[in-house]
Structure 1
Amino acid sequence: MPAATTVFTAVDTQDFDAFAAMLADESTFVFGNQEPFVGIEAILAGNAAFFTAVQRTEHHINRVWTVGPTTLAETDVTYTRLDGKEVTLPALSTWDVDEAGLITSYQVFADLTPVFAP
């Protein structure tokens, strides 16, 4: 089971190979109320597209709970916009893993409206 620090380091450094290595083949990824990405290729494409809209992210972990195959991570995420302005917002990320410890479903609960506000 990947630790929260491992997951968020891969995201924040945009290390898509490391992130992909944590995913089961038919995993799903949902950000907010967007349509789910299904499968590693779609998840990586969605994450790569997101990073064309912001320069970077930095997750600050507040609390992590792991119960059986499920992890919940409460974070404050600093988004660096394309104009260089930083916006920090709360988020909750959850993921489930299979018997091999690979992520089968990943969901992020966050409102990014302030990140893209003028």
Structure 2
Amino acid sequence: MFSKIDAMDVEGFLSNLAENVTFQFGNAPALVGRAAVREGVVAFFSSIAALRHEMTGKWEADDITIVRFMTYYTRHDRIEVEVPCAVILHHAEDTLIDDYRIYIDLAPVFAPQLRDKPAAATH
């Protein structure tokens, strides 16, 4: 599934989700249903040039999966920003994901970047 996300393949990503999925990305309001998730993911993908995930941990217990990542976002100005995140997934009986929570701080991705830092003052 994360290879589909990294390819920015919205439909491939959505194929892993239950029709009535609850999806929450960071501190954004939860989205309910595939159609709402599609709209949210398309909007988010338009705000970045690319992304990729490197898994740094995974835990499973019954119908819950927790995954830890280092996520690399490429901004439209081509600057790559590294952000840690964790994802908690609940799998329905049909194995599709019916609850998807992403814990991340996206502020660094959208923060203004200083191209040239001012020289230190000398006295």
- Match status 1:25 vs 2:19: yes
1:51 maps to 45
1:75 CA displacement? 0.3
Higher Cα Rg, which structure? 2
Inter-partner Cα distance in structure 1 for 2:96 and 2:111: 35
The unaligned stretches of length 5 or more in structure 2 are 113-123
2:111 corresponds to which letter in structure 1?
Answer: A
Deviations 1:30-86 (A, max 9, x none): 011110111001101101100111111100000111111111000000000010000
Counting aligned pairs with the same residue, the percent is 35
SS at match of 1:14: coil
Runs of 4+, deviation exceeding 4 Å:
none
Unaligned runs of 5+ in 1: 1-6
TM-score (norm 1): 0.92
> How far apart in 2 are the matches of 1:55 and 1:37?
23
What residue identity is the alignment partner of 2:103? F
Superposed counterparts of 1:35-114, under 5 Å? 35-114=29-108
Instruction: Give aligned pairs, total.
Output: 112
CA distance in 1, matches of 2:14, 2:81: 27
